[in-house]
Amino acid sequence: MSEQFEIIEDRDDIPSNPTRNPRISDLIDARFSRRGFFKGLMATSAVVGAGIATRGVAKAQSASTLTFKSIPQKITETHAVAEGYDADVLIRWGDKVVADAPEFVPGQVDATAQNKQFGYNCDYVGYMPLPVGSNSSDHGLLCISHEYTNAELMWPGLKDSMGASQEQALHEIAAHGHSIVEIKKTNGKWQVIDGSKYARRISALDTEMQITGPAAGHDRLKTSSDNTGTRVIGTLNNCAGGKTPWGTILISEENFNGYFGGDIAKTSEERNYKRLGISPESWYSWIKYFDRFNVEKEPNEPNKFGWMVEIDPYDPTSMPKKRTALGRFKHEGATVVLNKDNSIVAYSGDDQRFDYLYKFVAANKYNPNDRAANMDLLNEGTLYVAKFNDDGSLDWMPLIFGEGPLTAENDFNSQADVLIETRRAADLLGATQMDRPEDVEPNPVNGKVYVMLTNNSKRKEGNAPNPRAANPHGHVLELTPPGGRGKDADHTANRFTWDIMLAAGNPSNPDDKAVYHPAAESWLSCPDNMAIDHRGRLWISSDGAQGSDIPDGMWATDVDGPGRALTKFFFACPVGAEMCGPEFTPDGTTLFLAVQHPADGSSYEAPSTRWPDFADGIPPRPSVVAVTKQDGGEIAG
Ligand code: FEO
Ligand code: CA
Ligand code: CA
């Protein structure tokens, strides 16, 4: 969700972790001190400032493997991309998805139409090659999540969703979820194929989903519309996501708490809902019209949200499955890695200040020769939460019913209870409180795992020598599994090591205590999502940089070699927008980007931009952009 004008107080992210578990920032400081690195960090900050201001480009050209030249950090009404590249709008809010979808009509309120059109606030983007199992980079499915809606930018006369009519509320519900479109590159340009048999809208309006795994069928998931505890209509607040080796996608349910309201004290789930931030005041008008969003009327409905959802995009009739084995929290996303021994490991961050980092290891092995045998691998396995140690090691602690404090004494009576209240279980194990974990992704080239920690302005404790006691700009962690580089890395191991890849912020401002390569070309703030290109280089998207008067957008850096942490700025979002969904084609010649909530902070009547149409009467439209190199070559190659 948008952070840019809300660094100080953000309703998405009022911390709800009551424990005093060690915080990552305390540990970072401990490690810096332990290594005597802290003095070095201060010195580096000053050098980086000079590098960016005066001599960064010359140095960067020798150190970085990224061949593009940084663009200026300037917020404008439109997007910008590095010289030599094209950034073409591929699909916009309201564009046709399924064959009989009507054309977009500005200002129209029509949930039936919206349910066939591209939804709002595109976030996760997954490219799935066609034909199935191929490595095609010019024909595939694009799978895009729609995280939330900005009612005040969709229709006139609204300050936010709370003023929406019932018809508008239904339209908003239909604009949430996911879109699948077939795309093809012809003469160097991508196009959506009209009438594709794969085209599909998945929405919060009417898409039935199955609840699977250890929590499925539990009494705490039973509601008046589903007495089995195994079915639910829709998915909410689908933020980032991931892909599996068997050709499915995983979409996340992040800030689902905001859709519910009512007095949680009147339910038997008060402790559970409080820990997830469900408050009496919903963020959406939906609660006025539909009982399922009111916990006083439907007390178990929120337990059906907060999960990862698996979708088979190659089968448009398949029912999406919520995978409870991966835990219930504000999933930013989940990324899956195939371990050398064919084990399946999924990493996931809980996007809230002071919340945790998780991984899941499936009980059964991947079968490379039998897709059907893999389709329910995510139903059984062990969920772990991260505990960072100040000696530079990291322990993955299993969340298993009956072990340690996860017993009836603490009101856990089954693994279902542990999963439904994953956060509370992790609290009891002493997990490390993080500065808002967003994307977590394994790098297939060097075998390490990268963690985007977007910011934590709430973190006030610390002491004078603690330079990032408040962390408004975020940082990037690098986790190292044992075993070696690339495929040798053992992601199933219980103990990793960790390090800091970079600390974001403006190096010209000593208070930021930013850490980059001395010749970094461009500084960033609030790292959120990421992509790793096929050379193993890290592409970082931001959400909240506009709070520092620079655009949100896409930065890139090497992770190994002389260009490590030498950040370069590749793509700038239009005013109000955050950058989401970075996704490369397998050959690295196309980078798909999602521009979410352009004109955020303004109104339908007076939008701060009408991106991307720039036509009178046409509102700003969240859109997916396809970036290609004008010579057709590999991006930054
Ligand atoms: Fe939806 Fe964590 O950003
Ligand atoms: Ca975001
Ligand atoms: Ca995000």
pLDDT in the model for residue 477: 93
Contacts of 175 (CB under 8 A, 6+ apart): 93, 114, 119, 120, 146, 149, 154, 203
Q: Is 133 exposed, middle or buried (0-12, 13-18, 19+ CB in 10 A)?
A: exposed
Please give the number of the atom of ligand 1 that sits closest to the Cα of 123: 1
Q: What is the mean pLDDT of residues 545-565?
A: 97
Which residue's C-alpha comes closest to atom 3 of ligand 1?
A: 1
Q: Are 582 and 123 in contact (CB under 8 A)?
A: no
**Spacing, Cα 348 to ligand 1 middle (Å):** 12
Mean pLDDT of the chain: 91
Please give the number of the atom of ligand 1 that sits closest to the Cα of 237: 1
547 vs 30, which has greater pLDDT?
A: 547
Contacts of 238 (CB under 8 A, 6+ apart): 123, 124, 145, 146, 147, 176, 177, 178, 251, 252, 253, 254, 309
**Spacing, Cα 456 to ligand 3 middle (Å):** 14
Please give the number of the atom of ligand 1 that sits closest to the Cα of 543: 3
Please give the number of the atom of ligand 1 that sits closest to the Cα of 254: 1
- Give pLDDT tens digits for 159-188: 999 999 999 999 999 999 999 999 999 999
- Give pLDDT tens digits for 53-93: 333 344 445 699 999 999 999 999 999 999 999 999 999 99
Point out the ligand nearest to the CA of residue 239. Answer: 1
**Spacing, Cα 61 to ligand 3 middle (Å):** 31
Q: Are 525 and 548 in contact (CB under 8 A)?
A: yes
- Give pLDDT tens digits for 590-628: 999 999 999 999 999 999 999 999 999 999 999 999 999
Predicted confidence band of residue 19 (pLDDT cuts 50, 70, 90): confident
**Spacing, Cα 348 to ligand 2 middle (Å):** 15
**Spacing, Cα 593 to ligand 2 middle (Å):** 13
Cα–Cα distance, 437 to 472 (Å, whole number): 14
Predicted confidence band of residue 480 (pLDDT cuts 50, 70, 90): very high
Q: Which two tokens stand for residue 51?
A: 């590098």
**Spacing, Cα 334 to ligand 2 middle (Å):** 15
Point out the ligand nearest to the CA of residue 352. Answer: 1
pLDDT in the model for residue 99: 96
Among 278, 337, 348, 339, which residue's Cα sits nearest to residue 309? 348
pLDDT in the model for residue 540: 98
Point out the ligand nearest to the CA of residue 237. Answer: 1
Q: What is the mean pLDDT of residues 416-444?
A: 97
Residues with Cβ within 6 A of ligand 1? 1, 147, 239, 254, 332, 351, 438, 528
Residues recorded for the chain: 637
Q: Which two tokens stand for residue 383?
A: 């969920």
Query: Could you give the angle at which helices 24-34 and 37-50 cross, rounded to 10 degrees?
Result: 100
Contacts of 510 (CB under 8 A, 6+ apart): 45, 46, 49
Please give the number of the atom of ligand 1 that sits closest to the Cα of 351: 2
pTM over 0.85: yes
Cα–Cα distance, 463 to 447 (Å, whole number): 35
Residue 224, pLDDT > 60, answer yes
114 vs 55, which has greater pLDDT?
A: 114
Point out the ligand nearest to the CA of residue 13. Answer: 1
How many CB atoms neighbour CB 612 within 10 A?
21
60 vs 340, which has greater pLDDT?
A: 340
- Percentage of the chain with pLDDT > 70? 90
